[in-house]
Amino acid sequence: MDDEPTTLAFSDYLELEKTSSVRHDYIAGQLFEIETLSPQHDRLAINIGSELYDQLRDTPCQVFTAEMKLWIPSKEVAYYPDVMVVCDPEDRNPNYKTQPRLIVEVLSSNTVATDRQEKFFAYQTLPSFQEYVLVPQDQTGIERYRKTAAGDWEKTLLNPKEDLHLQSLGLTLSLSEIYEDSLME
């Protein structure tokens, strides 16, 4: 009996995802089911995506939410970021994107380690990637990572009274807009 896991080509993964009732991350030919989002997670991602969309409306940048895959060929991984912004007009594949400028992940207890480590390290290999924002569901406050001119990543913890300035896009989101109508008690 062969204990080797079956690997799937990326093109086969794309075809499978078109008809699958659940979404999967793709890591080196292996599929990993993505957990169902909580209402709080969904609300935060919608708020962020909507605010970004409103502010980027007449620009070449496009906002994508958790239904668009991000393909990182050098790492052989595809993830579904909660929110990403792509400003490269050449990044036109309808099934996935490869040139995000900004990625936002809404943290949950099951994904926090993956979002902070595995995904962030993979995202950093993309030349277009400039800012990473982590938004906790259970408290008001945000972590922002920004790529410096030297290529290092600078971490900033925002307190609940600060606005989120996104240098990569030249815009600002208020935390009150991000957490508007959130389900926090």
pLDDT tens per residue, range 48-79: 999 999 999 999 999 999 999 999 999 999 99
Q: What is the pTM of this model?
A: 0.93
- Residue 63, number of CB atoms within 10 A of its CB: 22
State how far the Cα of 117 lies from the Cα of 57, in Å rounded to an integer.
32
In angstroms, the CA 145 to CA 175 distance is: 16
pLDDT digits (tens, 9 = 90+) for 74-97: 999 999 999 999 999 999 999 999
What's residue 185's pLDDT?
Answer: 43
pLDDT at 1 over 80: no
117 neighbors 132 (Cβ within 8 angstroms) = no
pLDDT reading at 47 higher than 90: yes
Q: Is 170 left (phi over 0), alpha (psi -120 to 50) or beta?
A: left
pLDDT at 122 over 80: yes
pLDDT of residue 31 exceeding 50: yes
Q: Give SS3 for 165.
A: strand
Mean pLDDT of 89-113: 94
- Please tell me whether residue 96 adopts helix, strand or coil conformation: strand
* Distance, CA of 167 to CA of 148 (rounded, Å): 11
How many residues are present in the chain? 185
Mean pLDDT of 113-122: 94
74 within 8 A of 66, measured Cβ to Cβ: no
